[in-house]
Chains A and B, each alone.
Chain A
Amino acid sequence: MTEYVDAGQAIPLSQLSAVKGSAPAVAENVDYERILESRSEPHNWLTYYGTYDAQRYSTLDQINKDTVKRLAPAWVFQAAMVGMHSGASTFSFEASPIVVDGVMYVSGPDGKVWALDAKTGEELWRYKHASPYDVSLCCGNVNRGVAVGHGKVYLYTLNAHLVALDATNGQVVFDSVNGDVRAGESGSVAPLIVKDMVIVGSAGGEFGVRGHLDAFDAHTGERRWRCYTVPKPGEPGSETWADNGEAWQRGGANCWVTPSYDPELELLFQGTGNPAPDFDGDVRPGDNLYTDSTIAVDVNTGEIRWHYQFTPHDLWDYDSTMENVLFDAPDGRKLLAHADKNGYFFVLDRTNGELVRVFPFVDRITWGEITPDGKVTPKVYPDKEGEPVHFWPGPAGGKEWTHMSYNPQTGLMYVPVQEVGATATRRRREFKESMPYWGAAVAVDLEDFYGYVAAIDPLTGEEKWRWRNEYPMCASTLTTAGGLVFQGTPTGEFVALDAETGEKLWSFQCGSGHHSSPTPYSIDGRQYIAVPTGWGGWIEGFLPGLLGNNKGDALFVFALPEA
């Protein structure tokens, strides 16, 4: 037999591509002070929500009510999510791209991060985090974005590692393991840079983990503090769990959506997830703090300063992980707005968690009732073993994790609303690490659904207008000083609405549904709107009626035609 032919050494796949391999060092001087003042540089989108207050508002106005009709694609980036490692039926392109001085940093499913030329779409570098195929994922192979600063790009991976990449070339600077995949933990959140720290929260609430929020040294990857969102016996809040029980150990309350932050109060406002098991409350008597809550966390110590629980003793999977939008009342009162899965819109005093106002923002609420003074009365829930119970909103909520936006010009919150119900049948099961721990059989409605964008005055609770759609709204809104609200639909349209009236002014068919957060920016005086598309994730939870819609994985970037 002849000698083997020398096949050589395996090489990175990107070497066989046109990827440039380097990006300008624009992230070197992105630090806390600059992110604090990010509204003063509207050409960039320096942090997940654009600003720490989570308003998702841009002062750019080149694209406005008059010009938007000429909006057209400037470039498209194809993320190429294929193969077994992508989990072909589950991936979704959920990120909100970060833009720094002409460079875009965006993550996709399956551990992918790209640096792109934000003007042309050219791929500058790429990173692919290899995560095991069998990580427990409740809701798809997804990632909501990266944080950029201190010369680095921060990614929280599917297998719960905080990875810092060199922003100029995508090479790993540090890799800190922060979760136990054997326990069912995972990662999907977009990290947040505050001071010299990076904040991330855990995922895995459907697997009976104990939720936590963590702060890491942004330079070394060393953990500074961990805030558990379910107290141990003897800690404050532990009285809301059964005495001497084991339920707290598997209590959930995960933090898989990025917090907002008030630099004056030095508080992070973190939404927490559902208790576990989701639908079987008998095994966890009590209110189950701090599940389904907003917790105000001292950014320096990780201590919980106050909390407000939206759905005590949740029996419907009503996570409250979604954003807390910070805004001030005309009298200067520091407020926080939160549109919960349970169908109610809450306004809190963000200095102390006091309820200011609560009102429904969806049409159909049957699970229970919350009075204007905040008293919660459950009405319909999976109570008896084997007995189906139908309720609205379904477990994906009247609004899912996708974000509302706030326009200071109009004073309105623009809320993406899902009108979808579900049936849950309690089915008790033993807890076993890494196995789904729902305590019910759940089927989300395949019919009788719709959606809308609601423009809500948070000071009065009045709905000023709504833009109704045949299908629920499963993507974040973005609002701009151009008097516009942008919204992607499950059927692929990217729509611009008049922020004052809700009139549809423009739309473009992207070919696959939206489940992400659009990002505005500008380069050399030209404004762009970027939006990842790619229908997927937990579709069976928020809109199973469109489970068979076309998949996709394209990032569209729109601009007005060049003169």
Chain B
Amino acid sequence: MTTISNDRSAELAAAGLDGQNKLTLGRLLGTGTIGHAEELPDGTMRATVRIPEDEMCWEPGILILPHGGTLELTLINDDKNTHCSVLPNIGDNLVIWMVNHSKGTATLNLQGPGIYWYGSATGNDEGRGLTGAIVIGGEVPPEAKLDRPAQPRP
């Protein structure tokens, strides 16, 4: 067992878990940077995710929303290969095809709190690292809460 530092990024890099075809074949899922959606005055949210060249991952890999609702998401493919994105959305998943060096948008309606995953469903892009997370914080509305005193959480 080697020493573990508190620097997660350094640990991933040292282990070869921060890119393509180092220790792993692809990018370890759930790694990458963390980003926050911008909340607009009307309560909708806005964010951008990008596929960097030869990284086969989404940046940020984890996108945090302050609450559920409408997210205007811009997706950019800076890679020199074609990818796509299948995204969670109330009613039906959304799909967008993203050829090399392309930019598109998706309007997502999601409820929180909780984690949603999305990915590029072509070839094995998802397994290689193109699986990203959208994380929604907050609480359910008061009328949906149980009638009981506040309880301890982990």
**Is A182 within 8 A of B139, CB to CB?**
yes
Is B8 an interface residue, CB under 8 A from the partner? no
Contacts of B86 in A (CB 8 A): 13
The minimal Cβ–Cβ distance linking A180 to chain B, given in whole angstroms, is 5
Q: Given A4-B103, A10-B104, are A182 and B113 neighbors across the interface (CB < 8 Å)?
A: yes
Q: Give the distance in Å from the alpha carbon of A249 to the alpha carbon of B147 in the complex.
A: 8
CB-defined interface of A169-198 with B at 8 Å, one 1/0 digit per residue? Answer: 011100101111111010000000000000
**Is B151 within 8 A of A132, CB to CB?**
no
**Is B115 within 8 A of A179, CB to CB?**
no
**Is B94 within 8 A of A128, CB to CB?**
no
**Is A132 within 8 A of B115, CB to CB?**
yes
Is A234 an interface residue, CB under 8 A from the partner? no
Q: Given A134-B115, A182-B140, are A172 and B91 neighbors across the interface (CB < 8 Å)?
A: yes
Q: Give the distance in Å from the alpha carbon of A178 to the alpha carbon of B111 in the complex.
A: 13
Chain B interface bracket (under 10, 10 to 19, 20 to 34, 35 or more)? 35 or more
**CB within 8 Å of B: which A121-149 residues:** 126-135
Is A284 an interface residue, CB under 8 A from the partner? no
**Is B140 within 8 A of A10, CB to CB?**
no
User: Which segment of A65-73, A359-367, A425-433 sits at the interface?
Assistant: A425-433
The minimal Cβ–Cβ distance linking A541 to chain B, given in whole angstroms, is 24
Contacts of B110 in A (CB 8 A): 130
The minimal Cβ–Cβ distance linking A10 to chain B, given in whole angstroms, is 4
Is B70 an interface residue, CB under 8 A from the partner? no
**Is A183 within 8 A of B154, CB to CB?**
no
Q: Give the distance in Å from the alpha carbon of A82 to the alpha carbon of B43 in the complex.
A: 33
Q: Given A132-B116, A159-B114, A250-B151, are A5 and B96 neighbors across the interface (CB < 8 Å)?
A: no
**CB within 8 Å of B: which A71-102 residues:** 84-85
Q: Give the distance in Å from the alpha carbon of A10 to the alpha carbon of B139 in the complex.
A: 28
**Is A434 within 8 A of B153, CB to CB?**
yes
Q: Give the distance in Å from the alpha carbon of A9 to the alpha carbon of B72 in the complex.
A: 10
Q: Given A8-B104, A183-B146, A249-B149, are A131 and B114 neighbors across the interface (CB < 8 Å)?
A: yes
Q: Given A4-B102, A9-B104, are A433 and B85 neighbors across the interface (CB < 8 Å)?
A: no
Q: Give the distance in Å from the alpha carbon of A435 to the alpha carbon of B154 in the complex.
A: 8
Q: Give the distance in Å from the alpha carbon of A126 to the alpha carbon of B91 in the complex.
A: 8
**Is B104 within 8 A of A177, CB to CB?**
no
Is B16 an interface residue, CB under 8 A from the partner? no
Is A7 an interface residue, CB under 8 A from the partner? yes
Contacts of A4 in B (CB 8 A): 76, 101-103
Is A20 an interface residue, CB under 8 A from the partner? no
Q: Given A4-B103, A178-B144, are A128 and B92 neighbors across the interface (CB < 8 Å)?
A: yes
Q: Which of A8, A175, A180 contacts B146 (CB 8 A)?
A: A180
**Is B143 within 8 A of A177, CB to CB?**
yes
CB-defined interface of A195-228 with B at 8 Å, one 1/0 digit per residue? Answer: 0000000000000111010000000000100001
Q: Which of A84, A134, A179 contacts B144 (CB 8 A)?
A: A179
**Is A434 within 8 A of B154, CB to CB?**
yes
Residues of B near any A CB (own CB < 8 A): 75-77, 85-107, 110-117, 119, 131, 136, 139-141, 143-149, 151-154
Closest 9 pairs (CB-CB, A-B): A132-B114, A7-B104, A10-B106, A4-B103, A10-B96, A10-B94, A5-B102, A12-B92, A7-B102
Task: Jot down 20 A-B pairs with beta carbons below 8 A, ordered by A.
Answer: A5-B101, A7-B98, A7-B99, A8-B104, A84-B117, A84-B131, A127-B91, A127-B92, A130-B110, A131-B111, A132-B112, A135-B114, A161-B111, A180-B146, A182-B113, A183-B145, A249-B151, A250-B151, A430-B152, A431-B152
